[in-house]
Every structure is written in C-alpha cells, then in structure tokens.
C-alpha cells in the first residue's frame, strides 16, 4: 500500500508530504495506482519548481517507494495551491483504490 503522510499546520497549510510504499495493484511497471499517484506527485513538485520561487527540500529513493517534500514556504500562496490541488487528486485516487493508497493527515 502507498501511504501519503501530509503534515498540516494550525493555519491549514501543508508543511510536508511523505509518500511511501507500493500500491501492489498490478504488476511492476503496469500498476495504474502507482503510476497515477506518482504522476500527480511528480507533476505537482515540478509545477512548484517551475511556476513558483520555491526550492523545496526533496528526498527520494532512486528505486521508488519513498518521496519526501518539505520546506515549502507556507506563505507562498501559489505553492500552497499546487499542494492543495495535489491532495485533491490523490484523494480522488484514494476514493477509487482505497485498498492501495491511503492519505493520513497530521
């Protein structure tokens, strides 16, 4: 299962996101849940890097299974909007494939 741990501050702003695990919905390389979640995450991070002034701290495993984004300025409205959009997309995947992906808010 993919777990997505989302840390939210008292103002409702995203402070960091950790995605861990594998969906195990299909064969490696053909897993639509993994592909969808990865595309949403990487597309969102690329949007933050390309469309805002943010340079977040990113940690990941080269072989997949772990991605951590942190140090996004909670006052940067554009970056926060991208993160919120990312969460909506991941929640949509979770709604359909709740045995393969789980979002946890902290």
Q: Which CATH number fits domain 2-105: 3.30.360.10, 3.20.10.10, 3.30.70.1490, 3.40.50.300?
A: 3.30.70.1490
Output helix, strand, coil percentages for the chain, rounded to the nearest 5: 40, 25, 35
Give pLDDT tens digits for 4-57. Answer: 999 999 999 999 999 999 999 998 889 999 999 999 999 999 999 999 999 999
Active site residue 22: yes
Parse the chain into domains and list their residue ranges.
2-105
Determine the pLDDT at residue 29.
81
Residue of 22, 25, 30, 66 with catalytic role: 22
Residue 70 has pLDDT above 90, yes or no: yes
Determine the pLDDT at residue 28.
82
- What crossing angle do the helices spanning 77-96 and 32-51 adopt, rounded to 10°? 170
Residue of 25, 30, 34, 66 with catalytic role: 34
Please report, rounded to a whole number, the percentage of residues in the chain having pLDDT higher than 90.
91
Task: Give pTM, 2 decimals.
Answer: 0.93
* Closest CA relative to residue 42, chosen from 64, 10, 9, 75: 64
């Amino acid at each position: 299962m993919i777990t997505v741990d989302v840390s939210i501050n008292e103002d409702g702003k995203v402070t960091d996101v950790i995605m861990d695990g594998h969906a195990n919905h299909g064969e490696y390389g053909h897993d639509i849940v993994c592909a969808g979640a990865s595309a949403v995450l990487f597309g969102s991070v690329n949007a933050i890097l390309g469309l805002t002034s943010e340079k977040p701290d990113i940690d990941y495993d080269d072989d997949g299974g772990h991605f951590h984004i942190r140090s996004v300025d909670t006052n940067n409205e554009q970056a926060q909007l991208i993160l919120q959009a990312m969460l909506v997309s991941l929640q949509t995947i979770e709604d359909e494939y709740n045995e393969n992906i789980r979002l946890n808010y902290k």
